[in-house]
Structure 1
Amino acid sequence: MPSLRTLVAIPVSLALLASVAAGSASSAEATDPLLSQFVSKGRVPAAALLEHDGDDVRYASAGRGISRADHFRAGSITKTFIATVVLQLAAEHRLSLSDPVERYLPGLLRGQGADGRRITLRALLSHTSGLADFTGITRGAVPLTPLQAVRVSLALPSTGPGRYAYSSTGYVVLGMVVRRVTGHSYAAEARRRVITPLRLTGTSFPGARRTLPAPHGRAYAADGSDITRLDPRVAGAAGELVTTLDDLDRFYAALLGGRLLPPHWLREMLGTRAARGVYGLGIFPVKLPCGTTVWGHNGRIAGSYVRSAASADGRHVVTFRVNTTAVADPALEPALLTAEFCPRGR
């Protein structure tokens, strides 16, 4: 999940940059040693990466017990899927991003400074609603219904409307809005509108199912304990998704390539003014040292961390994952993205 600390320019250690520069000009040779550092320096059991660059495809891995075909939990990458559904509904004039939440869910948001009459759907999408993040209390360990998640949030002080503050609560509320507008769950709408048309055969919203589809590896907590079984209701519309490396590359390529949203609504998604450059609508930019900006999202849920990043036209997409909750060295991720998207010498 992005924060102001991780989305601004992150200093990359000279040692990491040296390891990237030591490789040849090819992305494959520059990145594979760096991916191995996720195991040695990042202290993860295993890491994997899948790159699509035009017609070229490359898979790499490090550590044991991980493969390209694995199904895994994608955490907050779910938010890009939910935002895509909401923007499609806006394109169909079934809702407006300037509508207040109160129009669809009267009386839901009341308490600790939160007021659904003044919180718009755009504010939910851009994390500028002021709603406190319910996961700050549950720590991703307590299964909740959407209403319970909202009630946990409303028991906490609002961070103040109009300011960027990452909050999974907003996307839980958006899931409720999708049901009110369409009569179907957010999962059903995402399957109909995104998963089925793109043939994302490894992607699903598991609901209360604690197991992962086959094939899959194991997922580990920071202490090494096996937490492969997990109730996805700890995250709901903010982080329920199960998917694969291939499907995430295909999804972001299609999204940024204009296959899921009309041009106007894709520009809306990529607009970052509301969040002061930090976040768009379900997607965020990162400017790399060479000046290239990549778009995508990350996802963290117990036992899994995933990052997808793509060029603005969607032709170059990289997704990498580790089979534990966090990477010990925060400099590894920006170094990997730099190696993937910045041609040598720029």
Structure 2
Amino acid sequence: MRETREISRRTGLTAAAAALFTGAAAAPSRAAAAPARSGGAGPRRALQRGVDAILATGASGVLAEVQDAHGRTAARAGVADRDAAGKEPVPWDAYYRIGSDTKTFTATVVLQLVGEGKLKLTDTVERWLPGAIRGHGNDGRRITVTNLLRQTSGLNDYLTAESGDFTPDAYRRNRFRSQSPKEQLAAALDRPPRWLPDADDPAGERRWEYSNTNYVVAGMLIEEVTGHPWAQEVHERIIEPLGLRATFTPGTSPYVPRPTATGYTYFPGQTGPTETSLGFGGGADGCLISTTHDHGVFLRALLGGRLLRPAQLAAMRTTVPVRDWIPADGVRYGMGIAWRPVAGREDGIWFHGGTSLGCVSEAGVTPDGATAVTSAAFTLRLDDAEANERQARATLRMVDAALRPHSG
């Protein structure tokens, strides 16, 4: 199904292709308050224009934040719940599912293990998970850690490996269903691989395709190497050291804590949106819940060199060309993070992005980590490819403008 294939490129969704969604869990509620402002009226107005433009494409609510060493600037538009009588605005500190932006966290942990000498980028999956990738021509002896992180393994995306009824009813039936990493991997291995990595193309320059399965396996590797759950390693290595008090792994809970905004999805063939706030969110490929502020802190710390040693950060930023992933030209994928050119910036920006039913996470950070912009749009369009692309392009323009020198 075209809609399923399209959304799987950027998603952290799990479960059957009939009901793809990310999940959340309860966390302590926090009082809503407008964030501290910085940067002058010009940047604030520019960010607000960007957020308003996303809203104009049909999103129910949008929240964005730009932060640097001097503080942060935030903007919002739309409502927290389109069906509520009060029409309250999106909370400034709303929790939301960051979807596949989780992959950047997972890649960071893997590269930390490489920096500690516990793992090598040239190690094969077979080395650590014997027999885990076999059958229908799949071969873990041919897939390295680099292949997983750089999306060059040829493994099928487990999200598109299962057929299903992609409807609101299917979503409601499956929103409390969870899948283990082994179940997700089994779904991907139930058909031949897209390709097998070539020994003479270790960087994957010739073949690239986005697959959530790569990061499911990366999470399994983390657990095998450390002897600890993936969630524990992410918490102890990233969340706790950076003081990300609003970022967490939800386990199998389908709930997003308050404050948040209601998520909506336009399913194919439906006349209006369906509320899709509940759902299981998988694991290392896309389960994290965060806020615009916490996500920005993480991105600035990562590109600023606080989480990885120089050699591993350089490896993360070594890229291969990609096609047909997002509506932008010149995109290159590294290890859990991607690069694209931006007019007015000779060095471009780094980003990833994540999608779940009812929420689209988009962010960007300057190569030196000085400035980051993060955002959440609480509406996903699966019914209309053109409408989905309009929202995506408006969001990318907002990110680019926020990170362009002297914007505003």
Same fold (TM over 0.5): yes
Please name the residue that 1:318 is paired with. Answer: 373
Alignment of 1:136-155 (within 5 A): 136-137=160-161, 143-155=178-190
Count of aligned pairs between the two proteins = 324
8 Å Cα contact 2:303-2:367 kept in structure 1: yes
Partner of 1:213: 257
Q: Can you list the C-alpha shifts for 1:85-115, whole angstroms capped at 9, x where unaligned?
A: 0000001111101000001100111133321
Q: 1:257 aligns with which of 304, 317, 321?
A: 304
CA contact (8 A) 1:71 1:213 kept: yes
Contact map agreement 1:271 1:281 (CA 8 A) in 2: yes
Structure 1 residue 278 displacement after superposition:
1.7
Which residue of structure 2 aligns with residue 122 of structure 1? 146
Q: After superposition, where does 1:282-321 map in structure 2 within 5 Å?
A: 282-292=336-346, 293-321=348-376
Where does residue 189 of structure 1 map in the other structure? 233
> Using the alignment, how far apart are the partners of 2:49 and 2:320 within structure 1?
37
Q: Which residue of 1 aligns with 2:121?
A: 97
1:174 alignment partner AA: A
Q: Is the 8 A contact 1:50 1:246 kept in 2?
A: yes
Deviation larger for 57-66 or 136-145: 136-145
Provide Cα deviations, 1:139-179, integer angstroms capped at 9, x if missing partner. 79663211111111112332223411000001000111111
The residue type equivalent to 1:338 in the other structure is D
Aligned-partner SS, 1:321: strand
Which letter maps to 2:379?
A: T
- The yes-or-no answer on 1:333 pairing with 2:395 is yes
Task: Give the whole-Å Cα distance in 1 for the aligned partners of 2:337 and 2:225.
Answer: 23
Aligned to 2:3: none
1:52 to 67, 75, 82: 67
More displaced, 112-121 or 133-142? 133-142
Code of the residue aligned with 1:120 in structure 2: it is T
> Are 2:43 and 1:27 equivalent residues in the alignment?
yes
Give yes or no for contact 2:161–2:190 (8 Å, CA) kept in 1.
no
Which of 294, 314, 317 is matched with 1:247 structurally?
294
Structure 1 residues 113, 275: CA separation in 2 closer, same or farther (over 3 Å shift)?
Answer: farther
Residue 405 (structure 2) pairs with residue 343 (structure 1): yes
**What does residue 30 of structure 2 align with?**
none
Q: Is the 8 A contact 1:200 1:247 kept in 2?
A: yes
SS of the aligned residue for 1:308 comes to strand
1:261 corresponds to which letter in structure 2?
L
For structure 1, the 5+ residue unaligned runs are: 5-23
**What secondary structure sits across from 1:337 in the alignment?**
helix
Amino acid at match of 1:88: Q
CA shift, 1:209, in A, is 0.8
Deviates more, 1:62-71 or 1:25-34: 25-34
Whether the aligned pair in 2 keeps the contact of 1:150 and 1:173 (CA below 8 Å) is yes
- Measure the CA separation in 1 of the matches of 2:247 and 2:181: 22
Q: Is the contact made by 1:126 and 1:275 (CA closer than 8 Å) also made in structure 2?
A: no
Root mean square deviation of aligned Cα: 2.4
- Quote the residue 1:14 is aligned against: none
Q: Distance in 2 between matches of 1:338 and 1:91?
A: 32
Displacement, 1:250? 0.3
Q: 2:71 aligned with 1:36, yes or no?
A: no
What are the Cα deviations for residues 250-279 of structure 1, in whole angstroms up to 9, with x where unaligned? 000100111101111111111104869620
Hey, what's the Cα distance between the residues in 2 that align with 1:285 and 1:95? 25
- Structure 1 residues 59, 190: CA separation in 2 closer, same or farther (over 3 Å shift)? same
Checking the alignment, whether the CA contact within 8 Å between 1:299 and 1:305 is kept in structure 2 is yes
The structural deviation recorded for 1:198 is: 0.4
TM, length-normalised to structure 2: 0.75
- Structure 2 residue runs without a partner (length 5+): 1-6, 11-39, 81-89, 198-203, 267-271, 324-330, 382-386
Q: What's the CA shift for 1:237?
A: 1.3
SS at structure 2 position matched to 1:318: strand
User: What is the CA distance between 1:26 and its match in structure 2?
Assistant: 2.8
Contact in 2 for aligned 1:126/1:274 (Cα 8 Å):
no
State the alpha-carbon separation in 2 of the partners of residues 52 and 113 from structure 1.
47
Tell me how far apart the structure 2 counterparts of residues 34 and 120 of structure 1 sit (CA, whole Å): 40
Tell me, in whole angstroms, the C-alpha distance in 1 between the residues paired with 2:73 and 2:354. 22
